[in-house]
Amino acid sequence: MPTKKLEVNRASVAHRLSYALRNPGRVPRYVRRAGRDAWLRYRSPDHVAYYRAVMRSDTRRDPDAAVGGRSRERWLALGAMQFEYLLGHGLSPEHRMLEIGCGNLRAGRLFIDYLEPGHYYGVDISPDILVAAQDTLTAEGLQDRLPVLTPVRDLTLRFLPEAHFDVVHAHSVFSHSPLPVIEECFTHIGRVLAPGGWFDFTFDRTEGEEHHVLREDFYYRTETLLALAARHGLAARFMDDWEELPHGQSKIRVTHG
C-alpha cells in the first residue's frame, strides 16, 4: 500500500489550501461537512454526544459509509481484514469478545459466526448504527449466535462484568476520539479484561505534531498512546505487521501490565 504520510499536519492552513488546489472537486463536500460539524458541536459540546450526532447523520445517508466503507466491496474487505488479522493473532472460538464501536458489524458479523454462541458483545455510542447492525444480523442469518448489541454513553464499561472478556477490539474508534476519551477507556479496560486477555485498537498515527481535523479525525504519536497505557498499569506494544496490510491506520495491542 502507499506509504503513510506521517509528517503531514492535516489541520494546518497550508495543508488545507494545498489539498484544495489539488482536489478542487472535493471542496464543496468539505465545506458542507465543516458546516454540519460546526452546528453539531454547537448543539452537543460534549465530544461523545457530538460524535453520536455525526453518526446519526452519516448512518441516515449510508450505514456502510458511516463506519468508513467507501463501497460495499471495501466494507467487506475491511471486515475480512480485521477478522483474519485477529484469527492469526490468537483469536479462538471459545474466547469471549467485546467489540467497542461495533458499528453495523463490518467485522462483527465474522466474529459472531466464528465465536461460540453468546460470546460476542458489541457496544457503540450510536443507537442508529446498532439498528443497522441488527439488519446485518438478519441478512447474515446470525440470530442463533446470540450476540449482544448495546448502546453506551461513554467508555467506562461500568455495566460489564469484571475479568470477563478474553479479547477486546476497537477498530477506528480512537481515530475519532480526543485523548480524554481514550484515557477513560484505558482507565476501565483492565477491569473487564480477563487474565491473559488483550485489547487491540487502531489509531491514526503521526510522527509530527498531534492534531485533529474537524474534531472527527485525530492523529496521535505512537509514544503518546504507549505512555498513556503505561500510566494506567497496562502494557502496550505497536503491532508492526498490521502496517503491511492495506489500511491507513496503525494498531496497538494492550495487555495487563
Task: Give the strand pairing for 217-220 and 211-213.
Answer: antiparallel
Q: Distance between CA 69 and CA 77 in Å, rounded?
A: 9
Q: Do residues 9 and 209 make contact, with C-beta atoms less than 8 angstroms apart?
A: yes
Is pTM, for the whole model, over 0.85?
yes
CA distance 208 to 189: 28
pLDDT band at 68 (very low <50, low <70, confident <90, very high): confident
User: Cα(139)–Cα(106) distance, rounded to whole angstroms?
Assistant: 13
- Give the chain's length: 257
Cα maximum dimension of the chain: 53
Q: What percent of the chain has pLDDT over 90?
A: 80
C-alpha span between 54 and 40 (Å, rounded): 7
pLDDT(7) > 60: yes
Mean per-residue pLDDT over the chain, rounded: 94
Q: What is the pLDDT of residue 17?
A: 82
CB atoms within 10 A of CB 39: 11
Q: Is the pLDDT of residue 8 over 60?
A: yes
Percent of the residues in the chain that have a pLDDT greater than 70, as a whole number: 99
C-alpha cell at 250: 496503525
Residue 76 phi, psi (nearest 5): -65, -40
Cell matching residue 137: 444480523
Q: CA nearest 142: which of 114, 169, 165?
A: 114
pLDDT tier at 29, thresholds 50, 70, 90: confident
- Tally Cβ neighbours within 10 Å of residue 89: 15
How far is Cα 222 from Cα 18, in angstroms, rounded to an integer? 26
What residues does 235 pair with on adjacent strands? 255
Secondary structure element (H or E) that encloses residue 64, with its range? helix 63-66
CA distance 216 to 230: 26
The Cα–Cα gap between 168 and 98 comes to: 5
- Map residue 109 onto helix, strand or coil: helix
Q: Is pLDDT above 80 for 70?
A: no
The span from the CA of 231 to the CA of 81, in Å, is 31
For residue 192, pLDDT beyond 90: yes
pLDDT in tens, 90-123: 999 999 999 999 999 999 999 999 999 999 999 9
Q: What is residue 1's predicted lDDT score, i.e. its pLDDT?
A: 44
- At residue 3 the predicted structure's pLDDT band, cuts being 50, 70 and 90, is low
Which phi-psi region, left, alpha or beta, contains residue 216 (left: φ > 0; alpha: ψ -120 to 50)? alpha
Query: What pLDDT sits at residue 2?
Result: 45
